[in-house]
Amino acid sequence: MFSPPAPLPETDTEDASETDLAKHDEEDYVEMKEQMYQDKLASLKRQLQQLQEGTLQEYQKRMKKLDQQYKERIRNAELFLQLETEQVERNYIKEKKAAVKEFEDKKVELKENLIAELEEKKKMIENEKLTMELTGDSMEVKPIMTRKLRRRPNDPVPIPDKRRKPAPDIHLHQLNYLLTDEQIMEDLRTLNKLKSPKRPASPSSPEHLPATPAESPAQRFEARIEDGKLYYDKRWYHKSQAIYLESKDNQKLSCVISSVGANEIWVRKTSDSTKMRIYLGQLQRGLFVIRRRSAA
């Protein structure tokens, strides 16, 4: 006899239900994950499309920030350029004024130096001219003096020609600001003795007689200027050197040489700081005598 199948145990039925449920949940999870992936992919594609079109919000925000930074840098660069340009212009104006001032100062200095040099040359030429004129006058008078010295003691003394006196008077007035009449006559006597030819004198002639002190030539000193230094009485003197200046009237002054020119020197008194100009001719004739002294 056929018997019915035996019923399944209750435990096996519950296991089958749980397996189906887990499988169903897994399919839902996969489907949900796929959906999320598709949504995210679609969102990225949409953002990419907006980026290409320039309508993406994040892109616009960053572009706005970059644009602000760009404009700020441009503004700062323009301000810096303006400041640098103003500084360069100020420096240019300052340098231009300094150059103009230096040019004007140099021009005035050059003019003054040339004027001083020309004045010095003018004085030297005038002095040489006066010396030549005086020498010429003395040579014209010299034959009369020579004839006088040649005469015998018994002959009458000739009267000097007074018509030739006005010419020396003109030159004496011209030299009045440099020499006295006594100094000029002394120089003329010295020139006459130096220019006149030496002849053997007889014992009875006036040349053989001793000369009076007034007719003796003045004492001569060696004085010259070389390379900005004074050579006087076998010694060299330079600028800023302390000296004693002795004059013909026995005055002794303590001085300092302030400058050495072409034909004269300038000395400064230590007592009152006043300056004096001493010519080489005055040193050579002994009108002034220079002695060294200690700088202290």
Helix H or strand E segment including 273: none
Q: Which residues of 62-89 are buried (b: 16+ CB within 10 A; e: fewer)?
A: eeeeeeeeeeeeeeeeeeeeeeeeeeee
- Give a yes or no: residue 148 inside a domain: no
List the one residue out of 165, 205, 204 whose CA is nearest residue 185.
165
- Give a yes or no: residue 208 inside a domain: no
- Give a yes or no: residue 77 inside a domain: no
Per residue, what are the HEC states of 216-262? Answer: CCCCCCCEEEECCEEEECCEEECCCCEEEEEECCCCEEEEEEEEECC
- Give a yes or no: residue 161 inside a domain: no
The tally of domains found in the chain comes to 1
Percentage of residues in the chain having pLDDT higher than 70: 68
- CATH at 247: 2.30.30
Q: CA-CA distance, 288 to 292, in Å (whole number)?
A: 13
The pLDDT of residue 217 = 44
Residue pair 194/135 in contact (Cβ under 8 Å)? The answer is: no
Question: CB atoms < 10 A from the CB of 139, how many?
Answer: 13
- Give a yes or no: residue 59 inside a domain: no
| Domain span at 245 | 221-290
More confident residue, 61 or 205: 61
For 75-125, what is each residue's pLDDT tens digit? 999 999 999 999 999 999 999 999 999 999 999 999 999 999 999 999 999
Angle at 170 between CA 179 and CA 185, to 5 degrees: 40
DSSP summary character for residue 162: G
Q: At 275, give phi and psi (nearest 5°).
A: -110, 150
The pLDDT of residue 9 = 53
- Give a yes or no: residue 128 inside a domain: no
The pLDDT of residue 90 = 94
174-180 CB contacts, 8 Å cutoff, 24+ apart: 174/130, 175/130, 178/279
- Give a yes or no: residue 153 inside a domain: no
**pLDDT tier for residue 187 given thresholds of 50, 70 and 90:** confident
Q: CA-CA distance, 290 to 255, in Å (whole number)?
A: 10
The pLDDT of residue 101 = 93
Provide the total of helices (H) and of strands (E) in the chain, helices listed first.
Answer: 5, 8
Angle at 204 between CA 198 and CA 208, to 5 degrees: 40
Q: CA-CA distance, 204 to 202, in Å (whole number)?
A: 5
For 143-182, what is each residue's pLDDT tens digit? 444 445 555 555 555 555 444 444 444 443 444 445 666 6
What is this structure's pTM? 0.29
- Give a yes or no: residue 177 inside a domain: no
Average pLDDT, the chain: 76
List the one residue out of 207, 213, 287, 182 whose CA is nearest residue 245.
287
Q: Are strands 235-237 and 242-247 parallel, antiparallel or unpaired?
A: unpaired
Which residue do the tokens 């030297």 mark?
A: 124
